[in-house]
A and B are shown apart, each in its own frame.
Chain A
Amino acid sequence: KAGVTQTPRYLIKTRGQQVTLSCSPISGHRSVSWYQQTPGQGLQFLFEYFSETQRNKGNFPGRFSGRQFSNSRSEMNVSTLELGDSALYLCASSLDPGPTDTQYFGPGTRLTVL
């Protein structure tokens, strides 16, 4: 069974631009979560989606948004990029929402903002 895939793997943007990252969960998984990983702030929760609905959102500005499609694939968007948005963005999927279901992480998209 294929794992969580994230595209693109690497991305370079300039300040002020916007970016869209994509996540395809493991087949059959309906829950998708996103995390930002930076050297300074570590791993921080962005949002969680289940059945096309955002169930939970972390403490990030409104420039960060996401959505989930009917096939459970998810995208996240960052508008008006800032230098501090440079990070590894990780997507995780699980069968259902809830802490007892194991979350499987993708390899991440490394975003560099110049």
Chain B
Amino acid sequence: AQSVTQLGSHVSVSEGALVLLRCNYSSSVPPYLFWYVQYPNQGLQLLLKYTTGATLVKGINGFEAEFKKSETSFHLTKPSAHMSDAAEYFCAVSDNNAGNMLTFGGGTRLMVKP
């Protein structure tokens, strides 16, 4: 069975500061990893995904994540936070046996202080 743990249900950063949202996964087979963002009263939007190949993945809005197999991690970073980044972020895992089923972490609410 797969699982995802997001450390920190709430993260607060100042505008312009580094954003680091942590995600660790558990999977018995090679994983596919995703980060989604959810703004209030909206659905989920894909930020980036890792399937195969390069372990450093760049996404939209300046976000990137690095797949580290030895650490079973897929942390999300952005060098400089913007007020518009305030939202909830979800890490998710899937694999070739799971079809379209995504297993999500509990989410991290990012707050950006001016």
Q: Does B18 contact A (CB under 8 A)?
A: no
Interface of B is mostly: loop
With beta carbons under 8 angstroms apart, the residue of B32, B92, B103, B104 that contacts A100 is B32
What residue of chain A has the Cβ atom nearest to residue B41's Cβ? A107
- Chain B residues 84-114 with CB under 8 Å of chain A are 90, 92, 94-96, 98-107
**How many residues on B have C-beta within 8 angstroms of the other chain's C-beta atoms?**
25
Complex: how many Å from CA A44 to CA B4? 12
| Contact status A42-B107, CB under 8 Å | yes
Q: Which residues of A contact B99 (CB under 8 A)?
A: 48, 55-56, 97-99
Interface residue? B44 (CB, 8 A): yes
Query: Is the beta-carbon distance between A45 and B103 smaller than 8 angstroms?
Result: yes
Chain B nearest CB from A4 CB (Å) reads 7
B51 CB–A CB distance under 8 Å = yes
Summed over the interface, the residue pairs from A and B with CB atoms below 8 Å come to a total of 68
Contact (Cβ within 8 A) A103 B32:
no
Do B100 and A58 have beta carbons less than 8 Å apart? no
The answer to whether B51 and A42 touch across the interface, beta carbons within 8 angstroms, is no
On B, residues with C-beta under 8 Å from A are 32, 36, 41-46, 49, 51, 90, 92, 94-96, 98-107
* 20 pairs, A vs B, C-beta closer than 8 Å: A33-B100, A35-B102, A42-B104, A42-B105, A44-B104, A45-B101, A56-B98, A58-B101, A90-B43, A90-B44, A92-B100, A98-B100, A99-B95, A100-B51, A102-B46, A103-B46, A103-B102, A105-B44, A106-B43, A107-B43
